[in-house]
Amino acid sequence: MNSVRHNQPVVVLAFALGLLFVSSASLTTSIAAGTRAPNVLIILGDDISANSIGCYGSKNPHTTPNIDKLASEGIRFTNMFVSEAICAPTRAELYTGLTPYRNGVTVNHGATKKGTLSMVQHLGQLGYRVGLSGKTHIKPASVYPFEKVAGFPKNCNQSEPDPESWDGVEEFMTRDSEQPFCLVLASIHAHSPWDAGDSSHWKLGELKLPASLADTEETRNYYREHLGEVRLFDEQVGTARSLLERHGLDENTILIVLDENGAGMPGGKWTTYDWGVRSACVMKWPAAYQANFVTPAIAQYCDILPTLIEAAGGEVPAGMDGKSLMPVVSGTQKRHRDAAYFVYNSGPEGLEFSSRAITDGRFKLIWTLTPRQPYAVRTINGFDYGYVDKMSDRHVRKMYQSWLKTAETDEFAQRLIQRFRHRPEFQLFDLDTDPDEMVNLAIQPEFGPKVKQLQTSIVRWMEQQGDPGHERRAKKKQR
Q: pLDDT 10s digit of each residue in the chain, 479 long? A: 333 333 334 444 443 333 333 333 444 333 333 466 788 999 999 999 999 999 999 999 999 999 999 999 999 999 999 999 999 999 999 999 999 999 999 999 999 999 999 999 999 999 999 999 999 999 999 999 999 999 999 999 999 999 999 999 999 999 998 888 899 999 999 999 999 999 999 999 999 999 999 999 999 999 999 999 999 999 999 999 999 889 987 877 788 999 999 999 999 999 999 999 999 999 987 665 567 899 999 999 999 999 999 988 999 999 999 999 999 988 889 999 999 999 999 988 888 999 999 999 999 999 999 998 999 999 999 998 888 888 888 999 999 999 999 999 999 999 999 999 999 999 999 999 999 999 999 999 999 999 999 999 999 999 999 999 845 544 444 44
Question: In this predicted structure, what is the pLDDT of residue 344?
Answer: 96
Do the bridges between strand 75-81 and strand 354-359 make them parallel or antiparallel, or are there none, so unpaired?
unpaired
- Alpha helices, H only, 147-273: 167-174, 217-246
Question: Who contacts 311 (Cβ-Cβ below 8 Å, separation ≥6)?
Answer: 11, 19, 20, 27, 37, 38, 40, 254, 326
Q: Residues 60, 53: contact at Cβ < 8 Å?
A: no
Host H or E run for residue 148: strand 147-148
Q: Residues 6, 248: contact at Cβ < 8 Å?
A: yes
Alpha carbon dihedral 142, 146, 150, 154, in 10-degree steps, equals: -60
Alpha carbon dihedral 138, 141, 147, 148, in 10-degree steps, equals: 60
Phi, psi at 191, each rounded to 5°: -70, 145
Question: Who contacts 316 (Cβ-Cβ below 8 Å, separation ≥6)?
Answer: 306, 309, 310, 322, 323, 324
Phi, psi at 322, each rounded to 5°: -75, 155
Separation between Cα atoms, residue 460 and residue 473, nearest integer Å: 15
Question: In this predicted structure, what is the pLDDT of residue 424?
Answer: 96
- Alpha helices, H only, 75-201: 87-96, 100-103, 119-124, 167-174
Alpha-carbon distance values, 215 to 83, 320, 400, 416, 435 (Å) = 29, 43, 11, 11, 19
For residue 82, which of 304, 230, 264, 282 has the smallest C-alpha distance?
304
Q: What is the CATH number of domain 10-335?
A: 3.40.720.10
Adjacency order of strands within the sheet including 340-345? 340-345, 354-359, 363-368, 426-430
Question: In this predicted structure, what is the pLDDT of residue 35?
Answer: 63
Task: Return the exposure string of 31-54: e unless at least 16 CB atoms fall within 10 Å of the residue's CB, then b.
Answer: eeeeebbbbbbbbbbbbbbbbbbb
Direct distance between the N- and C-terminal alpha carbons of the chain, in angstroms, rounded to an integer? 68
DSSP, collapsed to helix, strand or coil, labels residue 167 as: helix
Question: In this predicted structure, what is the pLDDT of residue 311?
Answer: 85
Radius of gyration of the chain (CA): 22
Separation between Cα atoms, residue 184 and residue 42, nearest integer Å: 5
DSSP state of 298: B
pTM confidence score: 0.91
Task: Quote the crossing angle between the two packed helices 65-73 and 217-246, to the nearest 10°.
Answer: 50
- Alpha helices, H only, 319-360: 326-329
Question: In this predicted structure, what is the pLDDT of residue 252?
Answer: 73
Phi, psi at 302, each rounded to 5°: -65, -15
For residue 296, which of 365, 361, 363 has the smallest C-alpha distance?
361
Task: Quote the crossing angle between the two packed helices 395-406 and 217-246, to the nearest 10°.
Answer: 150
For residue 71, which of 259, 346, 336, 343 has the smallest C-alpha distance?
259
The CATH 3.40.720.10 portion of the chain extends over: 10-335
Q: Residues 100, 152: contact at Cβ < 8 Å?
A: no
Task: Return the exposure string of 225-257: e unless at least 16 CB atoms fall within 10 Å of the residue's CB, then b.
Answer: bbbbbbbbbbbbbbbbbebbeebebbebbbbbb
Q: How many helices (H) and strands (E) does the chain have?
A: 15, 14
| 314 alpha carbon, distance to own chain's centre | 25
Phi, psi at 192, each rounded to 5°: -70, 155
Separation between Cα atoms, residue 239 and residue 218, nearest integer Å: 32
DSSP string across 78-101: EEEE-SS-SHHHHHHHHHHS--HH
